[in-house]
């Protein structure tokens, strides 16, 4: 996998607001995954979007992928304090995606 770059590095919002974080990458991908890491549940896979998909939803999460711009965004709607975490994007190149390459992530803080 190649390293994605998350932006912004840190984001602070109030509970109930929406949070958007972005990921950019350099070369063509087969898929893109988002992971979340917090002290409570550790590092957890959230959602995967394939290169032939443009948008995907899972509960309060919405992921978009623009392969022409080599970028993805993760939107969390109606945020909760429990969403406070670091969010990482991981780009899959296809073939044996056995190695995940993480960037520095976006640190999201949701204030009650």
Partner 1 sequence: DTGVSQNPRHKITKRGQNVTFRCDPISEHNRLYWYRQTLGQGPEFLTYFQNEAQLEKSRLLSDRFSAERPKGSFSTLEIQRTEQGDSAMYLCASSPGWAANNYNEQFFGPGTRLTVL
Q: Is the dihedral of CA 100, 42, 6, 52 positive or negative?
A: positive
Site mask, partner 1, residues 31-70, x = CB under 8 A?
A: x-x--------xxxx--x-x--------------------
Which of 12-20, 54-62, 67-75, 86-94 is the region at the interface with partner 1 (rule: CB under 8 A)? 86-94
| Rounded Cα distance, 12 and 77, in Å | 14
Is residue 108 a contact partner of residue 85, using CB atoms and an 8 Å limit?
A: yes
Residue 32 and residue 72 in contact, taking contact as beta carbons nearer than 8 Å: yes
Among the residue ranges 20-28, 65-73, 76-84, 96-104, the one whose residues contact partner 1 (CB under 8 A): 96-104
Q: Which residues bind partner 1 (CB under 8 A)?
A: 30-31, 33, 42-45, 48, 50, 86, 88, 92, 94-105
């Amino acid at each position: 996998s190649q390293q994605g770059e998350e932006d912004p590095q840190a984001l602070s919002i109030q509970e109930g607001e929406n949070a958007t974080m972005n990921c950019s990458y350099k070369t063509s991908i087969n898929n893109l995954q988002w992971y979340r890491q917090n002290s409570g549940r550790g590092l957890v896979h959230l959602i995967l979007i394939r290169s032939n998909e443009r948008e995907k939803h899972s509960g309060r999460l919405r992921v978009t992928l623009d392969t022409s711009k080599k970028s993805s965004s993760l939107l969390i709607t109606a945020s909760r304090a429990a969403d406070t975490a670091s969010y990482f994007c991981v780009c899959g190149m296809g073939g044996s995606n056995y190695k995940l390459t993480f960037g520095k992530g976006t640190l999201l803080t949701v204030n009650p």
